[in-house]
Amino acid sequence: MYKKKILVILGGTSKERDVSLDTGKSCIKALKKLGYKILKFDPKFSSITEIKKNYADVIFNALHGKEGEDGKIQSFFEYIGIPYTHSGVLPSMIAMNKYFSKQVFIKNKIKTPNYFFLKRSDFSVLNLKQEIKKNKMKFPIVIKPNDEGSSIGVKICKTYSSLMLAFKTLRKKYDNLIFETFIPGKEIQVAVIGGKGIGAIELRPRREFYDYAAKYKKSSKTLHVMPAEISKKKYNEVLKIAEKANKALKCRGVVRCDFRFNKNKFYLLELNTQPGMTSLSLVPEIAQYYKISFTKLVKWMVSDASLNR
């Protein structure tokens, strides 16, 4: 009997390399259990051009961050003609770019915090105080890179002077920045599988917010409340908003939507097309609650893989 060859792409060179390696290892374990033949590929050590058309039947994309979930590697998968998991070229690029995704949310009447976007050429000429006023923003204000994942580079600023300090630091590292109003309240994350919102989890970080350490370090002791402690009506509402966002961006496969719930309203912060698949990750935890085991989820992702995504 023919064993399907699955090429797991993991690691890479983004700031989320370690998380990607964890995701890859967890998925490889499940894929082996399912009886697939596994090939591993780390773009840090070899050029992706070494992946040829007959290399594998399916590519399992376990990369996170830049060049793994921003549409670049997806366009290469399309070019070589190997079916792959997760979202396609355009949805990946739009979701990774906070400015583009916010445009889509607003167009589709999905609430998102007030914000403004700065590109490098504006850094020196723009009056930040004027922009804050013009966009009806209040402190605290969040400043973050436009196209990083896993809360990398995110700063929450309670005063104008702390905002200026964060801006001076981030402008040295990034070409594009997003400033948005900080929304207090519950941190709610929704798993969307195959276009359907399957569940919502509430996070209660012990840190200031659900940052990189809170996401990936057990020592952070972030409390996971599954299902989220909101009314049944609101629970169903947030699943529907997540499905709407998923559809608006034309995402495929497994997706995670990150919300804040404040004064009875949901604000969509961002949509993640390559959510983590580690022991601490939220999508597998939500799926598990609804009797979808990790192995079953991975099997579904392989069967869902295709081209022209």
Out of 71, 149, 197, 276, the active site residue is: 276
Out of 235, 270, 281, 309, the active site residue is: 270
Which token pair is 85?
Answer: 């998991």
Residue 105 makes CB contacts below 8 A (sequence gap 6+) with 111, 112, 245, 248, 268
Annotation marks residue 79 as catalytic: no
- Cα torsion 116, 119, 209, 110 to 10°: value is 40
Residues in the chain: 309
- Distance (Å, whole) CA 26 – CA 151: 22
Out of 252, 256, 260, 309, the active site residue is: 256
Which token pair is 147?
Answer: 């196209």
DSSP codes joined into one string, 255-287? EEEEEEEETTEEEEEEEESS---STT-HHHHHH
Distances in Å between the alpha carbon of 83 and those of 48, 117, 301? 15, 35, 11
Annotation marks residue 216 as catalytic: yes
Out of 84, 216, 235, 267, the active site residue is: 216
For Cα atoms 67, 102, 125, give the angle at the middle one, nearest 5 degrees: 85
Q: Which helix (H) or strand (E) covers residue 118, if one does?
A: strand 115-119
Out of 20, 61, 101, 272, the active site residue is: 272
Out of 16, 22, 147, 187, the active site residue is: 16
Annotation marks residue 256 as catalytic: yes
Determine contact, residues 3/267, Cβ cutoff 8 Å.
Answer: no
Annotation marks residue 150 as catalytic: yes
User: In sequence order, what are the beta bridge partners of 91?
Assistant: none
Annotation marks residue 16 as catalytic: yes
Helices and strands of the chain, counted as H and E runs: 10, 12
Out of 20, 199, 258, 267, the active site residue is: 258
Which token pair is 10?
Answer: 């993991």
189 three-class SS: strand
Out of 20, 61, 146, 150, the active site residue is: 150
Annotation marks residue 231 as catalytic: no
Active site residues: 16, 150, 216, 256, 258, 270, 272, 276
